[in-house]
A and B are shown apart, each in its own frame.
Chain A
Amino acid sequence: MGIIRVKARAMNGKTEVKMLIKHIMETGRRRDTSGNIIPAEFLSELVVRHAGKLVFAANLGPSVSKNPFFSFSFAGGAVGDTLELSWKENTGKFGIETAEIT
């Protein structure tokens, strides 16, 4: 199961991409009920490719809200095309997901 919900719409020669990512974005500054620091666990990198070409990338810190949202647009893209989305945490955990342009 992926963590990224994508809405990618092609119109007027460009594609608008909206991403909502299910992620805690733990800052590493909060404490649990016993007073112990909860270790940082946040998305640090996000990369989006269309037909092998980089169309968007982000380096992120814990100041980004829980369940991060991003939107951007790129020239080109057609209905039915696939976007490849890669994400990585500060912990090293990573994933690759795909989404279809509609």
Chain B
Amino acid sequence: MTIKRRTLVKALATGGGLLGLCALVPQWAMAAWMREAFAAGETNAAIKALYGGDLPVESAEVMLDAPDIAENGAVVPLTISTTLPNVETVSVFIAENPSPLAAQFIIPEGTLAEVSTRVRMGQTTHVTAVIQSDGKLYSATKEVKVTIGGCGG
């Protein structure tokens, strides 16, 4: 009985304490927030900083759904999807923005390779979506005309 009680006290002191800590501090994604990639001033530099190595290959299997004309550059809706297998990440770059990398999405197994979001565009420019599939990079690029830029105000 004494031993059991002691074990319990010990478990509470170590494991229990850890458990409490885990509940308070969120566990972040396996891919860390990459400062150099978000700081890069140009799309290709941002892609290299984010993924290292080669640039993506243009692929018709990467679908980038974006408006032809965005009246309000502050809120431009985008949907990126693909039929490529084993997608690990999806990322979005806005060429003429001060920092082109807008977002990198991590797609765990079991999550569909289709993500929607809204981005800011300072001016008419190209939007590039990059898909990491089976360790390789594929992309699609589309020009979006912006009537009123979304970075001022």
Taking Cβ atoms with an 8 Å cutoff, the residues of A that contact B are: 14, 27, 29-30, 44-45, 47, 53-66, 68-76, 86-88, 94-96
Report the minimum CB–CB distance from A52 to chain B (whole Å).
Answer: 10
When the two chains form their complex, are residues A61 and B110 in contact, meaning their CB atoms are under 8 A apart?
no
A59-B30 Cα distance, complex, nearest whole Å: 11
**How many A-B residue pairs lie within 8 Å, measured between CB atoms?**
124
**What 8 A-B pairs have minimum CB-CB distances, sorted nearest first?**
A86-B26, A57-B29, A63-B102, A57-B106, A65-B118, A74-B111, A71-B116, A59-B104
Q: Which residue of A lies closest to B75 (CB)?
A: A65
> Which residues from 27 to 82 on chain B have a C-beta closer than 8 Å to any C-beta of chain A?
27-34, 38, 74-77
A45-B29 Cα distance, complex, nearest whole Å: 8
- A interface SS class: strand
A69-B31 Cα distance, complex, nearest whole Å: 21
Comparing B3-11, B91-99, B130-138, B141-149, the segment that makes contact with chain A is B91-99
Contacts of A27 in B (CB 8 A): 98, 151
When the two chains form their complex, are residues A61 and B103 in contact, meaning their CB atoms are under 8 A apart?
yes
Known: A58-B105, A68-B118. A30 touches B26 (CB 8 A): no
A74-B110 Cα distance, complex, nearest whole Å: 6
